Structures are given as C-alpha cells and as structure tokens.
Structure 1
Amino acid sequence: MLDHTALLLLGPGHRFLSGLVAAPAHSQPHRHLYVPALCLADAVAERPEVGEHVLSLPAIEIVEVGFASALTIGRLVADGLPWQHAHAVATCRPDAEWPVGRPLVTAEPKRYETYGIAMVPLG
C-alpha cells in the first residue's frame, strides 16, 4: 500500500519505490501495489502530474472508498487524523480479504505509529 507521501516520492524516481513498482510488472504480473484513492487525490492536489504517472503503471491498483471504509475513515477523521492518512489506515487494517492487513509504504511513519498497521518507512 502506497500513501500520498510515497506517491510524491515515486514521481521523482525514488530508487526503492521504482524497483517496488517495476518488479511486479516484469517478474510477477499477477501482483499489484495498492493506492488508497484519497491518498492519490492528496498527491494529485500537491503535484497534478502524479495522477498520469500512476495511471501509466500497470502494477498499481486504486482502492476506492466503500461503505465500511467510509465509516472507518469518518471515525479516524473525527479523532483528528487527516483524511488521506485515515484512508491509508483503513485500507491497511485486517479485513475479510486481507486477514493480516497490508503494509503501508510511507515517508511519514510517525503519523501512523498508534494505529497498529505494518509499515515500510521511506528515508
């Protein structure tokens, strides 16, 4: 799972992220990297060309806001977490499809420390 901070680093060619995105496309085409829609929206608000870049990457799959995640996002926002971070947390937590959750790739790991999700911090 890539949050908005990871997407903003992906555009300028962050070496680790570029490899993470390229590997599934070439060696494991059935594997995807996921991006919460609200994280993409925030990255596009900051740098519009990120949207076209993400669209061109076949290994990226956008996670939409469904009913259950909307409820979770709303609760997290009410507790003070910004909406783009809240969608990342909601999509990384365990659910029926992902029983152990999904790790989050982020340049802001401290923002997520208290939410019990696995992270891959970017330096």
Structure 2
Amino acid sequence: MKKIVPDPPVFHPSSRRNPDHDLANEVIRHALANTRVNGSLIAALHPTAAGPAGTDSPFTVRPGISAEEALLHVSMLLKAAEEVSDEITEHASGIERGLIWSLVHSVEMARGVVDALLDGNRSVP
C-alpha cells in the first residue's frame, strides 16, 4: 500500500537554538551569580539613559527614569496590548484567532514577569 501522507519532519531541539543567545544568557547568569546587591536589585539598576532620537522619531525615552518607574510603564503598556488583543480575538476566525491568541498569551506572560519583578522588589524589607 502506498503511503499518501509523508512522515512529519524530524525535529532536532538543537537546530533551533541560537549559540549567541545561549552565550549571552550564560554571561548574564554568571554576572548575577557573582554580584551581591544590598537591598533591591531594581534600586541598584541605573536610571534610563537618553538614546539617539532623530527629528522624525515620534517617541523617545526620557533620561533619568528609575527602573521601577520604567517597569511600571511597561506593565501598563502590556496590559493595554492584552486588552486590545482580547478584543480583536472576538472578531477573528480560523488561523487569525490562533495567532492572536498566541499574541495574547505572550503579552500576558511578559506582563506577569514584569509584575512579579515589581511585586518581589516591593516585598524586600
């Protein structure tokens, strides 16, 4: 009997890994393991720095914003993206619904990480 449907491609987990990304993560892990910070890690972070903004740039980050304030703003932006994505999902169909759901899930996870960082640093004595 002739097989009509071919076997799915063999997935190799290492084929999707990015060695540069892995190296960068290892450097960060090593630096965090060797750093002792008194008090809040967020408080130990430097405030935002001014980046180059062209005359056509509609958006720029002001210098001197604390890490906690920046994370609060990121959390609010992610909440807004989550709400917009939820609203769009109701009107989508087929593959679009799946893609939008994936977007909602990613935004919710990102917001969860930011909020956990903020909550964890607020409970530090």
Return the TM-score normalized by structure 1. 0.25
Structure with the larger strand share:
1
Larger radius of gyration: 2
Which structure carries more helix by proportion?
A: 2
Does 1 or 2 have the higher relative contact order (CA < 8 Å, sep 6+)?
Answer: 1
